[in-house]
Amino acid sequence: MEDRGQNVYSLDEALSKIGFGNFQGLVLAYAGLGWVAEAMEMMILSFIGREVQVQWGLSSSEESLISTVVFAGMLIGAYSWGLISDNYGRKKGFLGAAILTGGAGLLSALSPNYISLVVLRFLVGIGLGCGHVFTSWFLEFVPTPKRGRWMIIFSSFWTVGTIFEAALAWIVMPRLGWRWLLVLSSLPSFVLLVFNGVIPESPRYLCMKSRTTEAYNILQKGALLNQQELPPGMLVSHSTSELNEESASSEDANLLSARRKTLISESKTSNVSVIFSSKLIRTTLLLWLLFFGNTFSYYGIILLTSELSGGKSDCSTTAHLKNTKDASLYLDVFVTSFAELPGLVLSAFIVDRVGRKFSMLVMFILGFILLLPLVTHQSEVITTLLLFGARMFISATFIVACIYAPEVYPTNVRSTGVGITTAIGRIGGMICPLVAVGLAGGCNQMIAVVVFEIMIVLSGLSVVLFPFETQGKELADHVHESA
């Protein structure tokens, strides 16, 4: 320890040394619950819209607005929680989001009228905008080897949430109604609130803020939980070479000093300016296109399932009203929710073998092919099978995109960059219900499906144009380290 210039190690070296064990398992459980909570709140949109429409005599546009305002809230929340998490810590972001999502979700079950329901679901959407921070937070605890596979496992919690919500709706809606579904779906957010005080802050965030002692203490606890030991020496904030000034030549020391000044200058630059810097602007814009198209097509397939289920595609008004409590809706949504499981398996198998870009491209192509026959009316069984397959591949691309985005951005702007990208995606989510509900529910199924296919093509094109692959690369802490 006396020769401090020699006995130092970086955060990535520490994470590699302690490996993936009980420590990351606890982090995975909390972050996974965050995604379960978000998935459940999002899947509600497939069920309550039609029920509320009949109960309160709403028009199709008023029904679609219940979904649209959630995405509008998520747009605001994605950016806001990203800024909060990058500037004040990931835990503070989780705390605020859990309070808002749980509180507004519970209160929305007591809504006396349409306006109050729309306002409260908008607030729920703002809270749900923190979902991407769970991804970044978990990613920052995972060692580089097989990072893609562990992120796929993390993403499986979203699928668990969608399946659980579909089963919950199947049980609760016909017996207790939509209000009780809202109450029960808000419970995971309160569990997140209860355990917020015991989860660790991201050591990568702490190192980026030069709070290395706090980061070391967290890593030390992690090493004990994993029954491993940290490397000998001292943890440094950035990379080993940056703090070896004491043992470097005077010329090298000057270069290292200049780099340190660059880091200080970079830390004072606004987060938004960094993601629009010359090194990141192309990737940022392509990510926006990817997330917009992917979110649009993903939620489009989910909403198409409810719009085309139970023979509703015959466009008769009587069929629309009769099917509000028809078990076929819950069965179709439940069955298609399971489509995400083989998508997860496929993603886990190929993402660390062929890379993020190629994985997304292949699955976009397959999703496009399976959705194409729905430009014309098919039987209920064929429709469900095609939506099952399309959702399998499009959900898988969504999962890989959620891995790729936080790997692209450096730690000092990771939550902000992913937050803005997610917010752009939410714009696609805002527009999507108007297409799925407005067109498919209004006897324009062909036009709706064509629009979704165009979005899939644009998403695939953005993947082709991405400038670099992140497979097997360590996470960067600053822009100059980004590939």
Q: What is the 3-state secondary structure (H, E, C) of 3-14?
A: CCCCCEECHHHH
Q: Which of 209, 90, 96 is nearest to 140 (CA)?
A: 90
Give me the torsion for CA of 392, 398, 400, 403, rounded to 10°: -150
Q: How many CA atoms lie within 13 A of 218 on its CB side?
A: 22
DSSP state of 431: H
Q: Which residues of the chain have pLDDT under 50?
A: 1-5, 239-269, 310-314, 316-325, 483
Q: How many CA atoms lie within 13 A of 480 on its CB side?
A: 13
Q: Which of 68, 70, 50 is nearest to 59 (CA)?
A: 50
Coil/strand/helix, residue 9: strand
Paired tokens of 440: 């498919």
* Residue 259: per-residue pLDDT: 43
* Residue 475: per-residue pLDDT: 65
Q: What is the pTM of this model?
A: 0.71
Paired tokens of 206: 């702490």
* Residue 327: per-residue pLDDT: 56
Paired tokens of 282: 């192309």
* Residue 122: per-residue pLDDT: 92
* Residue 247: per-residue pLDDT: 41
Paired tokens of 351: 């993402």
Q: Which of 320, 400, 312 is nearest to 355 (CA)?
A: 400
What's the gap between Cα 100 and its chain centre? 18
Q: How many CA atoms lie within 13 A of 174 on its CB side?
A: 13
* Residue 191: per-residue pLDDT: 93
pLDDT in tens, 375-390: 887 777 888 788 888 8
* Residue 171: per-residue pLDDT: 85
* Residue 439: per-residue pLDDT: 62
50 CB-contact burial (10 Å; exposed 0-12 / middle 13-18 / buried 19+): buried
Coil/strand/helix, residue 232: coil
C-alpha to C-alpha distance for 5 and 22, rounded to whole angstroms: 32
Report whether 360 contacts 294 (CB < 8 A): no
**How many Cβ atoms are within 10 Å of 106's Cβ, its own excluded?**
18
C-alpha to C-alpha distance for 193 and 345, rounded to whole angstroms: 31
